[in-house]
Chains A and B, each alone.
Chain A
Amino acid sequence: MAESLLEVKDLVKYYPLTQGVLFRKQVGAVKAVDGVSFGLRAGETLGIVGESGCGKSTVARMLVSLERPTAGSITYKGEDISRLSGRALKAVRRNIQMVFQDPYTSLNPRMTVGDIIGEPYEIHPEVAPKGDRRRKVQELLDVVPDLGLYINRYPHQFSGGQRQRIGIARGLALQPEIIVADEPVSALDVSVQAQVVNLLEKLQDEFGLSYVFIAHDLSIVRHISDRVGVMYLGRIVEIGTDAEIYEHPTHPYTQALLSAVPVPDPQARAHRERIILSGDVPSPANPPSGCRFRTRCWKAQERCTTEVPLLAVPEVFTSGPAAHPSACHFAAEKRVVPHMPPQEGGRPVGKDTD
């Protein structure tokens, strides 16, 4: 395994639930992120998928130090950055930048595009000397297509896709090594999504960036990612290369997620099997014991309620593409993305199927 640029270990974020007006007492905690570990190698894209509320965005915010983890470590080039403050934190921030989900709220409506993209240089004057800034901003705008001419305009004069590109240009300004993109295309039209994703890929090749790409759209994650982590209720349930995850999923939750991906081919669609999970995601304030997915899992047995499955390569798989970390006691391969003709007589195993 290549040296990791960023190493996340046992990351935990609890938000306390308090009661009382004058004397706050803690009555519980929302376990937004509960023991997440992964590594990010230089130049790769790690996709993180999961449904709403599974803690993806909290992970992203901890990576860029907008939230402080309750426990665990985030190691960047051998240094734990999760406890830094002041000058040291500011230095690390130069190297880890974020692209936000909503391009309509992530740009200050009172600042021109030139000011928005130039602000990183004001905060970190060592990156660009004063006389150089305007040229730097112009360069950045030239990297991001179509925007170079509008340096004096305000964000409301741009479309969503253009705004997101302004946000990306701001993220690139300090020449970071890592960009954490928190659902960067979910707020955009499909046609514009493609432009933004392709821009991100182009910039990755150009500047050797590493991405942590968070999304709930599995197709986009597959398109851009080298490796994919699947999150459920604050934990990573399965992680591997995109081929491993999409072609050989072994965790039931991943299989259920993948079975919901729209298939553009009506022939294949007719044969494919959909796994429809019943119920809702349990509250992260009171997650199920043992395996967190057991309340919605069709494979759940006694063991799942008592024993937390570890994120490790399941013993049943010794080699091959299915041998990737999967947090399930009963991990088994199951093809859900119909690339090849579906197997005859495949019996649906979901609780409800259509």
Chain B
Amino acid sequence: MPDPERPEPAGYDPVGPRPKEAVSPTGQGGPMDLALDEAESVEGIEKTAGPGASGPRERARSLWSDAWHQLRRNPVFIVSAALILFLVLIAIWPQLIASGDPLQCDLSKSQQGSAPGHPFGYDTQGCDVYTRTVYGARASITVGVCATLGAALLGSALGGLAGFFGGWGDSLLSRVADIFFGIPVVLGGLVFLSVVTSTTVWPVVGFIVLLGWPQIARIARGSVITAKQNDYVQAARALGAGNARMLLRHVAPNAVAPVIVVATIALGTYIALEATLSFLGVGLRPPTVSWGIDISNAASQIRNAPHMLLWPAGALSITVLAFIMLGDAVRDALDPKLR
């Protein structure tokens, strides 16, 4: 057996307000000191070590705060987050940047180009394209956010439970998810939504959740199965922890990252899907202002008045891009292997 003498001095003294100094004198090559050094240097100077015995009030970084620190330095995240913040703002208060009424139209100005006070020009009905583009954000953001929340909650709950408990429930859920996967989006939308008469966004949200949950459920199931095989879950079981504790404290926090990533990326595609359905005439209905509807109306006039198409289509592309970029940045930040 190797010599049991510990290589580093036992008196380790981080007490005091100078955490950096407290570590450096003990850095004598012992493996723990090296590891601690690394931990210190990662944490930088924001750590303030208190007296040891009474429980120091140091702020340790978890994966989440690590991810947040990385995100804050990522230009992709900053740009996309700023865009999304802006979009959310105008979705809630479109009056902030548009003074007109999107439903107040003047047929005499049909398809006219930009004019003072109406920078994007007019559409076929003579409505202000700028105002309609601004107001259209609300429908897109509402559908995107609500559909993503619904799909993520439903999918991760079902997939997580199936992955954790396994057995016939898991098999059943996986097959049901396969069936929903098999539904072609556009065909399914045409069939389901053509029978709906409501003019609100909710049927569209419901349809997207219906088609979107299996993807999240698969991801959640896979990552729960990976997480539950970890020794720390076995350790909790050996301590006598019940299923609820194991699932909520040990499995879920370690399995949620991929779900968040996929959901963020899916948000962009759901917004595009809403526009697609509206374009096909089965999504949102006219009193609602939506980019999809406007694009649909403008498509036939593309030669006469391209501005009618370009502005809402551009707004849609930028929104979708912003959410996908956000998802990408979140994925990079939550994947420790890329760090």
Contact = CB atoms under 8 A, between A and B. Distances in A.
- A and B are interacting partners: yes
B241 interface: yes
B103 to A, nearest CB: 50
Given A93-B238, A123-B239, A159-B34, A134 B4 contact: no
B32 interface: yes
Interface string B206-246: 00000000000000000000000011101111111100010
Interface in B36-61: 36, 39, 49, 52-53, 55-61
A89 B231 contact: no
B182 interface: no
A64 B238 contact: yes
Interface in A209-229: 219-220, 223
A100 B63 CA distance: 23
B35 A66 contact: no
Interface string A154-173: 10011111100001001000
A100 B2 CA distance: 22
Contacts of B236: 108, 119, 123
Interface residues of A, number: 59
A186 B8 CA distance: 22
A149 B238 contact: no
A149 B51 CA distance: 8
B6 interface: yes
B93 interface: no
Interface in A60-105: 61, 64-66, 89-90, 93-94, 97-98, 100-102, 105
B35 A159 contact: yes
B68 to A, nearest CB: 15
B109 interface: no
Contacts of B55: 114, 134, 138, 151-152
Given A119-B239, A170-B235, A148 B10 contact: no
A198 B1 CA distance: 10
Given A97-B238, A174-B239, A195-B6, A110 B63 contact: yes
Nearest to A222: B1
Contacts of A148: 52-53
B6 A105 contact: no
Nearest to B35: A159
A34 B52 CA distance: 50
A97 B232 CA distance: 13
Nearest to B55: A151
B239 A159 contact: no
B241 A123 contact: yes
Contact of A105 (B34, B59, B63, B230): B230
Contacts of B52: 148-149
A110 B239 contact: no
Contacts of A159: 31-32, 34-36
B317 to A, nearest CB: 37
Given A64-B238, A193-B2, A220-B1, A109 B63 contact: yes
Given A191-B7, A191-B31, A157 B36 contact: yes
Contact of A223 (B1, B240, B249, B253): B1
B235 A100 contact: yes
Nearest to B32: A159
B250 interface: yes
B311 to A, nearest CB: 45
B62 interface: yes
A190 interface: yes
Contacts of B231: 100-102, 105-106
A237 to B, nearest CB: 25
A66 to B, nearest CB: 6
A332 interface: no
A90 B240 contact: yes
Given A148-B52, A192-B31, A197-B1, A153 B60 contact: yes
B238 A107 contact: no
B35 A151 contact: no
In this complex, the member of A107, A110, A124 whose beta carbon has the largest number of chain B beta carbons within 10 angstroms is: A110
B39 A157 contact: yes
Given A151-B56, A194-B2, A197-B1, A161 B32 contact: yes
Nearest to A199: B4
A149 B14 CA distance: 8
Contacts of A157: 35-36, 39, 60
Given A102-B231, A112-B60, A149-B56, A198 B32 contact: no
A189 interface: yes
Given A148-B53, A161-B31, A219-B1, A110 B253 contact: yes
Nearest to B60: A153
Contacts of B165: none
A64 B240 CA distance: 10
B248 to A, nearest CB: 11
A265 interface: no
Given A66-B238, A106-B234, A158-B36, 13 more contacts: A61-B234, A65-B238, A90-B240, A93-B239, A105-B232, A108-B232, A110-B253, A123-B240, A123-B245, A124-B239, A153-B39, A194-B3, A223-B1
17 contacts: A66-B237, A89-B240, A93-B239, A94-B240, A105-B232, A106-B230, A106-B231, A108-B232, A108-B249, A110-B62, A110-B253, A123-B241, A145-B10, A148-B52, A158-B39, A190-B2, A220-B1
Closest 6 pairs (CB-CB, A-B): A159-B35, A106-B231, A157-B39, A149-B52, A90-B240, A93-B240
